A and B are shown apart, each in its own frame.
Chain A
């Protein structure tokens, strides 16, 4: 009887051990399965990134990385219809020229001087150049605008943009002095004069982009999110600027109208057609409301 009970107990213990081993084996299978799933997902994401990068590269091949801007691009950027400016107003711009106090007025040939310091590698400069070019084109004429792309290793890589390296600007209202301080690889490209370098260092904190509007206003960062331009060529971006409903136009032209508010203040509201236009007035009103709201 006792032997039978002992045998039963042994069998029960053996069954319990077997059940525990089976549970462990199941748990181990599940664990390895879960780890494999996670690793496969990580590899899948890396593969998707690689494919996307290749796609972006093939898109980028459609536009040049340097040289003169195609005539169609220059035409589209410098001749955006007034109706588009008026319709967009401040658009989706997130930044505007900020008023400065205590800075001496910066002039050249008796006209207010606008200083731009950027760099070809800089993605934020890539975004800002579109807005600056469209805005300044309403006050004067550009020549020698080039094209470039931001660095391939920075945020918003290879953002298609214009280049001010060889650009000249004439206007009866103001002067514009653009400098591309570094090239796409971060090498020194255009040196600043000591007085401009002082402004860049002291007001601009040595960061790109930096725009000094005659000592009265400054821009020390992008006015909109450069990712809106991702994967596009200069030609594609320029062609969007006649469509007021495009997110690109809302960003670029909204920013341009805000720049125009500052430029109009420098030029004594000239040219009148620009400074009294609905787009600039709407942007000025939005700027006023925002500065009130932030107080």
Chain B
């Protein structure tokens, strides 16, 4: 059986490696969703830890679009106006990518699937670039270690999908 027949023409490593990346991304994104909604996350400097993930996952940039916090007298600021938590978007991204990176989907010859995968991973990497800007510049270098994890996985997925798509063998004539 030729490579084209067994893998839909994409390199053999594309499906397994992309699945591993998607699962890792899903786990990381799920944790960030938990952090975003965790009511016990406090705006306190811990006695033992100097890095506070909550500072990133609850900042105004943790919403898309970035939101303004209520300038009211609340113990914890809450957002005003329409907004979707970035962590939720990340989780949805990895869920859809996981589906699009299933071995059966890689074997699929449909141009629609291939384009959807490419478009989604491009959107993902652009979002990751924006979030790197947020952490390094807008939040003055505040980094929640789980966020760069998601960014690196997205970057790796982007490189993988772009290369695998470019290396795809044409259907046998």
Mark A residues whose CB is within 8 Å of B.
13, 16-17, 20, 23-24, 27-28, 30-31, 34-35, 38, 41-42, 45-46, 48-49, 52-53, 56, 90-96, 98, 119, 121-125, 151, 153-157, 181-182, 186, 205-209, 220-222, 225, 227, 230, 258, 286-287, 290-291, 293-294
Quick one: CB contact mask for B126-158 with A, threshold 8 Å, 1 for yes? Answer: 000100110011011110000000000001001
Q: Which residues of A contact B158 (CB under 8 A)?
A: 35, 38
Q: B115 to nearest A CB, angstroms?
A: 13
Q: B162 to nearest A CB, angstroms?
A: 4
Number of interface residues of B (CB under 8 A): 42
Q: List the A residue with the shortest CB-CB distance to B71.
A: A92
Is B77 on the interface with A (CB-CB < 8 A)? Answer: yes
B30-38, B45-53, B89-97, B98-106 - interface stretch? B45-53
Quick one: CB contact mask for B74-100 with A, threshold 8 Å, 1 for yes? Answer: 111100000000000000000000000
Q: B161 to nearest A CB, angstroms?
A: 9
Subset of 13 A-B contacts with CB under 8 Å: A16-B173, A17-B173, A49-B136, A94-B69, A94-B74, A153-B50, A154-B51, A155-B52, A155-B56, A186-B50, A209-B44, A221-B44, A290-B72
Pick from B55, B132, B155, B173: contact of A155, CB under 8 Å: B55
User: Is A207 a contact partner of B47 (Cβ separation < 8 A)?
Assistant: yes
Pick from A34, A49, A293: contact of B141, CB under 8 Å: A49
Give A224 to B162 CA distance when docked, in angstroms: 44
User: Is B129 a contact partner of A42 (Cβ separation < 8 A)?
Assistant: yes
- If A41-B129, A155-B140 are given as contacts, then 18 extra A-B residue pairs at C-beta distance below 8 Å, sorted by A number, are A17-B173, A27-B165, A48-B136, A94-B69, A94-B71, A95-B73, A95-B75, A119-B47, A124-B44, A124-B45, A153-B50, A154-B52, A155-B139, A156-B140, A156-B142, A221-B42, A225-B69, A294-B74
User: Is B44 a contact partner of A46 (Cβ separation < 8 A)?
Assistant: no
Give A151 to B71 CA distance when docked, in angstroms: 26
User: Is B45 a contact partner of A31 (Cβ separation < 8 A)?
Assistant: no
